[in-house]
Chains A and B, each alone.
Chain A
Amino acid sequence: MKRVLIIFANDLRRRLKSPLSILLMLAIPLVMTLVIGGVFGRSGKVEMTKIRLLVFDADRGLGGRFVRQGFEQGKLAEMFELVPVDSIDGFDLMAEGKASALLVIPRGFTNDLLDRRQTALKLIKNPSESFNPIIAEEAEPLKKTRSMLSADKWPALGDMQVLLDEAKIPFTQVEGYIGDSLVTLGSETAADTARAGGNAGSSGFNIFSYVMSGSLMLGLLFTSNIMLNDIVREKRAGTLARALCSPIGTGHVVAGKVLSVYAVTAIACLLLLVVGKFAFSMDLGDPAALAAHTAASILMCTGIMTLLFGIVRRERAADAIAPVVIIVLAMLGGSMLSFDMFGETMQRIGKFSPVYWANDGFKKIMVFGAGTSDISRNILVLAVIGLASLVPGALLLGTGFRKGG
């Protein structure tokens, strides 16, 4: 371990002595956040207004109530202002620019759920607004309602407690409803409200958190890229060969190098989050969730880039290929254009990008206030991808070292 730490400490010292390239890379997500956040964030104001969501509850049952209660708790309560409307007249409020979206809970929603019939929530988005309707669509209560009755995993009992208590339904009875996808969310944009703009209410949602949660990964991938590119440069400079001639051994050199990639990427991430916190007043959410998700996301970055540099060993090829891979993964994962703006097909494809899972997790933590259990799937996916790419990547790097480059 001491030998690994010698390599690791030296790389870290070198990077600290010459941090410019990484700082420039970190400027990418910061500038993106500043520009996009500034454009959508109302003349650069940090705090966005509360998102006004109209709810037309035709069901008036427990299911509909459960959905509404989701918006009235915790961080979402700060972000959303729920306005019950008696009828579909809510369209008029959107047309007047007084709401971002209208959620329609259909008649018989609760009964349909309990009778295992297909049912659908409908979200009608205000086309004159950019982000707020999407955020409403992304909101956890809507997702949770769907996942609770369709998910391949049993939801936390606490999540269902209110519903179960009020309905006086024994747990065993509810269990029978789990498994099939019974609830779908239909969303559409109200064409006749296009002329309206703006929304009303008070603060709660930070647009910078929303943008940074996506652009963060771009900076981290490029940071990992710089660190691994340094290994290629070391090959040219002869320092790598010299280290490999020492009694330290190839395995220790590879481990030290990979560890330094991870550490420097983690420092870069910390730096971005600190800047986000103090410069953009971002809410970083639950520290435990953020730490766990960040660790997994950096593992993914390190793994993917190690594998790439394990395969592509020549400096010129690495210079050409790595940025393309990063940009494609980041684009598909929603780092440049919000994933929520993708069409259905692109969303399906985008989920194959590991960056999606990282972005999605950061968004859940920093925008919707999710805890560790809410993002456990993201963490698992990222950790698996990270390890699955890191191990062969490190082996390939070592093989390349032994072959003299």
Chain B
Amino acid sequence: MIEVNGLRKYFGNVKAVDGLSFGVKEGEIFGFLGPNGAGKTTTISMLSGLLRPDAGTITIAGMEMSGGGGKARSIMGIVPQEIALYEELSGRENLHFWGSLYGLSGARLREETDRVLDMVELSDRADDPVGKYSGGMKRRINLCAGLIHRPQIILLDEPTLGIDPQARIRILDIVRKEAESGTTVIYTTHYLEEAESLCKRIAIIDQGRIHAEGTLAELVKLVGEEDIVTITGDFRADAFPALPEGTRIDRIADGTARLVVRDHGAVGSMLSGFFSSGLRVDTVAISEPNLQGVFLKLTGKELRD
């Protein structure tokens, strides 16, 4: 559905996007995970036709975006990072305007407006000025404005930024349902859990480059399938008990140890051996391989929510 090859964008001497290539299949939720300034929004801006790439090609449903992508734009829905709504207008008036830009009019426009308002459960507040909405409500209308014309592709740029967990869950549910109905979704975020729970495939982006791309399982394999067990208690580093096979010490000091367990099933036997040695254990924390670890390994930095 979407094919991107060698995409580049410079702002002066700054390489905002540096040779991005990826593909997204129909009905797939493809995530861009990266910190602020990684190049996610610039990529979305080029995909949506707002920015012209300095190099590279974008093909949307077989249509080249190089000529401005008029037709391709009509099948895309954009949900920008900003709450791009007119605060003085009501939610309904906003949706009428954004819908009309995509060719909706008359009864069809009214029907689609009602449909998306129902979807985000804001029908009862539809005629209030957007300026009087809460942050979560604005985010929901912002989402509606990108969905009102039933696009085949939705580009969502950090759509849950700065909202409460409840509103976030609601938005993620809507995105999931859209994908289930066959809509292709590109979703940018710097929230690890959103990328993990929502996206079928994830591209890890930093400094304008994709460092890795694949399903969550594929990405995790990049850092190995080892669990990290962190133990704190009353023990000395030089008197640490012997460890079973497949387990090694990553870091150790008096009172704290970080162990790497290659086989997830070996964690239990390792801990029982530790308890039977008679040493006092205060806490045990087990962390399975996740995107945080992948991101840390690939970019050398941590993603912060």
Contacts and interface: CB of A to CB of B under 8 A. Distances in A.
Nearest to A10: B97
A357 to B, nearest CB: 35
B168 to A, nearest CB: 20
Interface string A241-285: 111111111000000000000000000000000000000000000
A238 interface: yes
6 contacts: A13-B93, A241-B50, A242-B84, A244-B50, A404-B50, A404-B51
B22 interface: no
Interface in A210-244: 237-239, 241-244
Indicate the member of B80, B84, B85, B103 with the most A CB atoms within 10 Å. B84
Interface string B89-127: 100010001101111000000000000000000000000
Interface of B: 45, 48-52, 68, 70-71, 73-74, 76, 78, 80-86, 88-89, 93, 97-98, 100-103, 129, 145
Interface of A: 3, 6, 10, 13-14, 17-18, 237-239, 241-249, 402, 404
Closest 4 CB pairs of A and B: A238-B82, A238-B84, A246-B101, A247-B74
A242 B145 CA distance: 10
A65 to B, nearest CB: 63
Given A14-B89, A245-B73, A6 B51 contact: no
A249 B72 CA distance: 12
Contacts of A249: 68, 70
Given A6-B101, A242-B98, A404-B50, A247 B84 contact: no
A244 B52 CA distance: 12
Contact of A13 (B49, B83, B85, B89): B89
A237 B82 contact: yes
A393 B103 CA distance: 28
Nearest to B146: A242
A238 B88 contact: no
A231 to B, nearest CB: 13
A242 B182 CA distance: 23
B300 to A, nearest CB: 30
A17 B88 contact: yes
B232 to A, nearest CB: 47
Given A14-B86, A238-B81, 5 more contacts: A6-B101, A237-B83, A246-B101, A249-B70, A404-B51
A23 to B, nearest CB: 14
Interface SS majority for chain B? loop
A87 B24 CA distance: 98
Contacts of A3: 101
Contacts of A13: 89, 93
A242 B88 contact: no
Contacts of B101: 3, 6, 243, 246-248
Contact of A18 (B45, B88, B100): B88
Given A239-B84, A402-B52, A404-B51, A245 B78 contact: yes
Nearest to A5: B100
B68 A241 contact: no
Nearest to A404: B51
Contacts of A245: 48-50, 73, 76, 78
A247 B103 contact: yes
Contact of A17 (B71, B85, B89, B100): B89
Contacts of A247: 70-71, 73-74, 101-103
A235 to B, nearest CB: 10
Contacts of B98: 242, 246
Contacts of A241: 45, 50, 80, 84
A87 to B, nearest CB: 69
A257 to B, nearest CB: 14
A13 B102 CA distance: 19
A249 B102 CA distance: 11
Contacts of A17: 88-89, 129
A242 B156 CA distance: 12
Nearest to B72: A247
Contacts of B76: 245
A300 to B, nearest CB: 28
Given A237-B82, A244-B50, A404 B45 contact: yes
Contacts of A18: 88
Contacts of A237: 82-84
A237 B73 CA distance: 21
B190 to A, nearest CB: 18
Contacts of B86: 10, 14, 239
A319 to B, nearest CB: 20
